[in-house]
Amino acid sequence: MIKGTEFQGELEVGTRVHCILYGGRDGIVFKITGDQHPENIRHLGGGCVVTGGSATFDIVFEDGTISYAVPEGIVRGVQWSIQKDNKANEGEIEFALAYAELEKRRKEQEKEEKDKAKEECRQAFLRAHPELEPVDPEKYDSRQKGSKNLKQELKDLFPETKFSVRCSSFAGGNSIDVSWTDGPTTDQVEKISGKYQEGHFNGMEDIYEYSDTNVWPSVFGGAKYVQTHRHDSKEAYLKAVAEVEEEYGIKLKVSYTESGSPYISNDDDVNIYEREPHLQYASRCVNRKLSETSHEKMRTQY
C-alpha cells in the first residue's frame, strides 16, 4: 500500500484501496468518472483541505458499503492508501457488489422490523397513558410536551411533593430540569425522568448520540438532557445529623449559612474512618443518609 498523497499513478477499475475512517476499511474501485490529474492536487493544512483533481471513484468496501463519486483529491489524500499491484479481477468485483446488494437489503429489512417494533411500542404507550399528552407530529413541541408530561407523572406518583419542571434551550442542545425539596430520592425520580432523555453525550467522539431504543420521547416528548436537582430542607438535614450522632455515638456541630442553610464545616467534622473507611467523615454519612431517605412513598397503584 502506498499513501494516497504519494501515489502518482493512474487508478484503474479493480484498484484496491484502504480508508482509515470508521475503524479502517478495504475497498475496490469499480467505476471511474472523468480524467485523473494527480499533478493538480494540493494539500493544505496538513491534509485537512484538498484542492485539485478531476476524476471521481465509486468504491465497494469489504463490509458491504459503497461510496459513490469519491473525489480524486480525497482518494489521493492523507486518510487513504492505494495498492499499486494485485488488482481485483472482474469476478471479485461482481462478488463484492453482489454482497453489497445483499447487505443493503438486509439493512432495509432490519430497519423495517425496527420501525414496526417502534410503532407497536408507541401505540402501547398511548394506550397505557391516556393521561399524558402526545407530541404533535406537525409541530416541534417535544421539549414543551416532555416537561409537561414529566411534571404530570411526578405529580401523580408523588402527590405530596411540589416539583419544578423547566425546559430551556442553549447552544448545542436543550434540557429539562427537575428540582424539588425533600420528597422522593433522586433515584426514584430519575426512574421516571430518564425516559424523557433522548440520548447521551459520547465524550470519546465528542458527539451527542440519540437513542435508537428509547421510543418514549417520540411519543410524549423529551430533551437532549434531563437533569434532576434534589434539595434538602433544614428539618431533613438536622434529622439526618441527629440520626448519625445516635448511630455513631458522636456529637456534630452544625453551622448555618447567611440564608439559614445548615452545614457541617471541615473544622467541626468528625473522622469516622476506622468504622466507615469509604465515608471517612461524618458529614459524608449525613449526606448519604439524606440521599437514601425518601420523605414520600411512591404510589404503588400507578
How confident is the model over 98-140, as pLDDT tens digits? Answer: 999 999 999 999 999 999 999 999 999 999 999 999 999 888 8
Q: How confident is residue 302, by pLDDT bands cut at 50, 70 and 90?
A: very low
For residues 153 and 128, the answer to whether their CB atoms sit within 8 Å is no
Please name which of 227, 219, 117 lies closest in space to residue 167, comparing C-alpha atoms. Answer: 227
* Helix axes 186-193 and 142-157, enclosed angle (nearest 10): 140
What residues does 26 pair with on adjacent strands? 18
SS3 126: helix
Q: Which amino acid is at 124?
A: A
Residue 146 has pLDDT above 80, yes or no: yes
Percent of the chain at pLDDT above 70? 97
C-alpha cell at 160: 405530596
Place of cell 475496490: 28
Chain segment 180-202, per-residue pLDDT in tens? 999 999 999 999 999 999 999 99
Chain segment 24-56, per-residue pLDDT in tens? 999 999 999 999 999 888 877 766 677 888 899
Radius of gyration of the chain (CA): 30
